[in-house]
Structure 1
């Protein structure tokens, strides 16, 4: 809480004025200091403040009410004491009123609330829960107010020495500002020292530099008389290279023969370098730095051989790869180098698949793909906005299989490889025959192959369900599944709806939406409904049958008038009565059906003929009502 208060008794509030400046000086030499006679009460050393006691001595006493000129008087955020007490009184009055209303709203004791007329007060203390709760609330309220007023009392006592307390605050603020100057000065010195580092660098000797660059030799510069290195002749260079080739051939054929990894079996030696080639992965150049076969090989260069070929490594990346390859050669020899380079190549291939996936997502596969990079893997979600696949998504995951054994260690006989996992409509497909080329990387071709198999699965499921129905087993209609796996998205399902008319069902390769090719106004509605089914492979068969019934009904209605037949708009029988007629055949023919009722002009009103159409087969019925 603030340590200074302004009194309302006409004092100067600790602020110095210029009216009495002639009566005192700054007290530098102790001269001309104005002495005031203080009363004995509360002014002695024993009863006075510690500061007054500290200044008591043989010399002249300095007045505490007068501050040196360099001290700044703190006047911000000083609250008058009368305002503080007035607000505290207002708060106490309002809180007391609220407490009374709160106690009044509390329930009465049980014996009074039940209307007990025989109740008589006694001298014993009321220990009912309601009464105890009221007493607890009242006691807490009084304790809170008591604490606040005790604090106000302490402040009131301190306000009697407001001038002295204010000066103490001024002194403390002044000392704190001086202490802060110490740290600021130290940091300024450090900053100046850092900024002066450039001054220690000598200025460049441009004159000497120009002479060195312009002339082959300068007479006034010192000469250390070093012997020049002998020039290497082409014959000597060829001899050294041939010697290194011989050492490499002998070492790889004798010393390293049993330790060479199987993928490194294909190598060639030329120009002092042994080049190990792994088709579809990389080529690495290694050499030796000593004729001792116990010393390690050393890395020279690395080239990726898969397509598309990645750009050359940056200088920083090449230095990092060189360090790791040399460390692997020094620790585990050629096997360690192969394992590191093989894993590096697989990771780079996953990165290339990911890069192409992002390019496809930004190109012609826009709004159809979702790409997520995982740890040494990439997940690609295709048909992202297909309406009937919101609940069951489809995606592929390309990742690196480490081929670890049961003990968790890599198997040297079976190196790691890139694997493909396919999740079709939310379910992982375990057995699928989709070959993807990891030597010639093409995410577009891989997606087309996977999606073509998905389209084939969807249309094949629809075809199998339709082909199992009696209508097609009894050869009452044409049903064919066309397509080739070599042509992505070429699979279609064709179903006969009339004698010379077929409906063709296909799927869009990019969006996964069903497409219908049929000459009917109802085809657009059937296509829309087919794209909203949760399981179109199973539910689409009945929808196609409904479209066929529409074709047949339209054809009967258009031809009936020309041969004096009337087509009834409704059925004279109930649904149960029609089921008893249509389902009178074998159980295999009991499928959902549509009917067309007709009557010949001039027939008895009690006779009708109707046609039932379903996947169980089309039948004609003559009915007498």
Structure 2
């Protein structure tokens, strides 16, 4: 150890070899563990020893200081932490527990030592002393003493350990640290030895042997080496092809002779063939194996050659594999000792085991793919257990695939021999073995997924059939099953129409019930079904789900129609059931728009579907006074689907039934002849897409309605039919359709009209049949309105003839109005009205709103228009159409210029004098222009004049000042413009001349020229001798105001266009 001086033990007083070798050296060879003492051999024994300098800088003339020696001590040993110790308290606790347990056992043993009972004992247990009682007491005391002695020794040892640990705890801790360090060093030395050994073993393969180049060249060159000794083997003579064929034929005959005469072939190997000197036994669906024999009788055994599996998937057995070697050894032993039957049994069991192993491998593959988390498998002792639907509540379900011995229960053996093992599968459905089912599993084409799907399909079919049986006869339920695909198994349940159908199916992987199609209502239903799994609960849940789906559909479409639901807090389910006499699942009452509060339209849902009723509700709302069912039918006998058209038709039929009493009473008071007939309303779409409902038709006489004078020719057939078609959009009036037939003369004229302009409120077909759409207030009779509409037919015919002459497109026409198109995207409506005046109505963005009042005067013959005698304008409608054509290009471009800057109303500002004369003014820079429509030869031209050269009284107010001076840049730009020329317009120095279609381009060019001279802050003008002032700048739109340009329809009541503050409407200003 460092710092310890040793005595010189050598004879001559020098240091021995052991002392020298114990010194440590640094990298430069100097000593690091004290100095090396060298004694000169030629000096006397008493001579002082010479000390060489050490690595640590010791002085050569004296001993190393103690401080330097302590600095060279080795590092401290690693201390073992206290948490790695077993505490003494835990030892005491365990020994105490062990003592307590042994005491209990001792007491139990003492209790079992009971003295024998004698007949002479008294009833209270007392009796005469018995020698056996003393022996029993002695044994009990012996047990107690033995227990005390054994445990006393334990506690004495604990006492010794406690006292010793208290005194030697510090030294004991050091001893443990030293022991731990010594054990670590020993382990490191052992590991070094193992690593060196392993390194030598590995490097042995990396060693390159010395090649024998000479021998290699000799063998490669001559094919032999002279120094290699000859073993003296005599090669067999080569066999010719004929001899080989003869040998194979001999072996085939020999095998045939042995199998037919000498061998007893088991019936399992009855299928065999002989070729190429070997016999091949075939077991269908399992395997085939080859044997060979060298003798014709059974004196020698068969020899195993090869084996091939006949199922899929199966591996090929390589002849050099370890499995084949072990298989050949085992089969040869069986052939030698027991024969073919034992060989078959051995190979048969190997095949069955391998099939089950392949199925187990396929299950493991499924667990890593889409079936993860839903399957659990175990494979042991040639039995494969597969549990499916792990997360499904309730008892477990699984498949058990294994090898069955097929031995009869009574133990009797058939004359055919012992039974053959086979692969069988057992299915346990919810913990119960299902025996009366044929799984139909294919063991030749192995697929565990197909097996699982087959079993799950049977399980799903069982669950769906059970649920199907729970439904009654009123509910339409149809189950569809599949043999091998569980996802194709489903239970279709419908209530009412086929559209209200849901399909109940079970997910093959998870086993959860699913409803399709998925809707917001199906998710809670699925949760309820999967929570209970009872067929009755499933039936009730699906029935309520379908009923709620119908109610939700009716509620959704009723909201679209604007029906108001009736609060039914006071109306109980029992009241509704008593009123309609049905087993009601759900009901909803509505007030369609326009209905009174004491009458409601009720939608009743029961097991057969939905039905519609008209219910008269009592005063307090808790009773139903009367309920009348609405007859709903279709041409194919099925109920119509729940959609908006169906509900709209049901509403119309309900209105018809309510209005029947009012209509019949009104006709009876007037003494009219009528008859009411129920008819099926034909669908507007194909019957496969839309249902139809039952309605009524009222038949009246034409002669009683027209009131023709004697001698007048009637233009209608004697009978007409009136049918109701529900409310109008205002929900205060009701639509009715009147159908009749015209006589042949009137039908010819009407046919020409209808071919040119189809009507909206009036339709006409070949043969003179026509239909008129009427609107009457709810609860009023229809006859007076019908009379007025028949009088309007002549006016419609004359108006359509005029439009045909002007070659304008008739978009729509009715007995009240006519709409026609006079340009691309521009149309106008002409309203006849009740009076003599004809009203004109343009669209909100129609540019002719600017001259609406002038056009109204023209069509009513209060104004001559643009030309009274030109172009054959004979009446107001002709002049109205001509004015539309000539003014359309101008008014369109004026709207375009004004709308380029939304909200800007004065830069430019347009003023209308009349249909021929217009003025456009600008405020920045200030200027104005007039343009008039003038005839030139056989065409009409627009003359654009600059107002700068006109008298002051003909100019705008801003230009009437004698000191007004036009901006120089604007004047130069206008002079340049007035010298330009285009295809449809040309400058004339002081203005522009443009034809009807060229006025838009001319005005756009003029507007661009003026706007290009815009001056920021306004144009400065001289006012007398005063200082120059700024002309007011162009006004910008003010967001806080609602300045609009009213159109000509009704300037006082004009409304702004939705979405815009300024709108696209213009003032109509007349300047004398």
Between the aligned partners of 1:289 and 1:523, the Cα distance in structure 2 is 76
Between the aligned partners of 1:526 and 1:459, the Cα distance in structure 2 is 16
Determine which of 383, 386, 395 is the counterpart of 2:398: 395
Between the aligned partners of 2:462 and 2:254, the Cα distance in structure 1 is 60
Name the structure 1 match of 2:544.
546
- Between 1:444-453 and 1:538-547, the stretch displaced more is 444-453
TM-score by length of 1: 0.58
The 5-angstrom pairing of residues 324-335 of structure 1 reads 324-335=330-341
CA gap of 1:552–1:146, structure 2 versus 1, over 3 A, is closer
Greater strand fraction, Structure 1 or Structure 2: 2
* 1:252 correspondence with 2:259: yes
1:299 Cα deviation after fit:
0.3
| Alpha carbons 1:455, 1:489 under 8 Å: kept | no
Determine which of 333, 338, 359 is the counterpart of 2:344: 338
| Alpha carbons 1:306, 1:440 under 8 Å: kept | yes
Name the structure 2 match of 1:466.
471
The 5-angstrom pairing of residues 179-190 of structure 1 reads none
- Between 1:478-487 and 1:422-431, the stretch displaced more is 478-487
* 1:208 correspondence with 2:208: no
Name the structure 2 match of 1:26.
9
| Alpha carbons 1:533, 1:539 under 8 Å: kept | no
Tell me the SS of whatever aligns to 1:498: coil
Determine which of 246, 264, 268 is the counterpart of 1:239: 246
Q: Deviations over 1:204-261 (max 9, x none)?
A: 75533542453245556555655443222223322222222222111110111xx211
Between the aligned partners of 1:384 and 1:147, the Cα distance in structure 2 is 57
| Alpha carbons 1:498, 1:551 under 8 Å: kept | no
1:368 Cα deviation after fit:
3.6
Name the structure 2 match of 1:444.
449
CA gap of 1:558–1:266, structure 2 versus 1, over 3 A, is closer
Higher relative contact order (CA 8 A, sep 6+): 1
CA gap of 1:564–1:267, structure 2 versus 1, over 3 A, is closer
| Alpha carbons 1:402, 1:410 under 8 Å: kept | no
- Between 1:203-212 and 1:229-238, the stretch displaced more is 203-212
CA gap of 1:272–1:580, structure 2 versus 1, over 3 A, is same
Between the aligned partners of 2:437 and 2:12, the Cα distance in structure 1 is 105
Structure 1 residues not aligned, in runs of 5+: 1-12, 31-74, 79-139, 154-172
Between the aligned partners of 1:548 and 1:241, the Cα distance in structure 2 is 79
The 5-angstrom pairing of residues 398-437 of structure 1 reads 398-404=401-407, 412-437=417-442
The 5-angstrom pairing of residues 200-599 of structure 1 reads 207-219=214-226, 222-223=229-230, 227-256=234-263, 259-291=264-296, 293-313=298-318, 315-385=321-391, 389-404=392-407, 412-467=417-472, 472=473, 476-485=474-483, 488-500=486-498, 501-518=500-517, 521-530=520-529, 532-554=530-552, 567-572=566-571, 578=574, 594=585, 596=587
| Alpha carbons 2:548, 2:586 under 8 Å: kept | no
CA gap of 1:150–1:220, structure 2 versus 1, over 3 A, is closer
CA gap of 1:536–1:218, structure 2 versus 1, over 3 A, is same
Q: How many residues align?
A: 449
| Alpha carbons 1:276, 1:284 under 8 Å: kept | yes
Between the aligned partners of 1:360 and 1:310, the Cα distance in structure 2 is 20
Name the structure 1 match of 2:645.
none
Between the aligned partners of 2:509 and 2:436, the Cα distance in structure 1 is 24
- Between 1:419-428 and 1:453-462, the stretch displaced more is 419-428
TM-score by length of 2: 0.36
Tell me the SS of whatever aligns to 1:433: coil
CA gap of 1:610–1:403, structure 2 versus 1, over 3 A, is same
> Which structure: larger Rg?
2
The 5-angstrom pairing of residues 110-189 of structure 1 reads 148=163
Q: Deviations over 1:32-71 (max 9, x none)?
A: xxxxxxxxxxxxxxxxxxxxxxxxxxxxxxxxxxxxxxxx
CA gap of 1:407–1:319, structure 2 versus 1, over 3 A, is farther
Q: Deviations over 1:577-609 (max 9, x none)?
A: x59998xx9xxx9x9x7454759987989x999
Tell me the SS of whatever aligns to 1:515: strand
CA RMSD of aligned residues (A): 5.2
CA gap of 1:612–1:272, structure 2 versus 1, over 3 A, is closer
Between the aligned partners of 1:427 and 1:396, the Cα distance in structure 2 is 11
Tell me the SS of whatever aligns to 2:514: strand
Between the aligned partners of 1:295 and 1:222, the Cα distance in structure 2 is 38
Structure 2 residues not aligned, in runs of 5+: 14-72, 77-154, 169-178, 625-1072
Between the aligned partners of 1:146 and 1:499, the Cα distance in structure 2 is 92
Between the aligned partners of 1:220 and 1:508, the Cα distance in structure 2 is 80
CA gap of 1:361–1:27, structure 2 versus 1, over 3 A, is closer
CA gap of 1:542–1:232, structure 2 versus 1, over 3 A, is same
Between the aligned partners of 1:538 and 1:402, the Cα distance in structure 2 is 42
Q: Deviations over 1:458-489 (max 9, x none)?
A: 2111110013xxxx2xxx34222234436543
Between the aligned partners of 1:229 and 1:400, the Cα distance in structure 2 is 50
CA gap of 1:233–1:263, structure 2 versus 1, over 3 A, is same
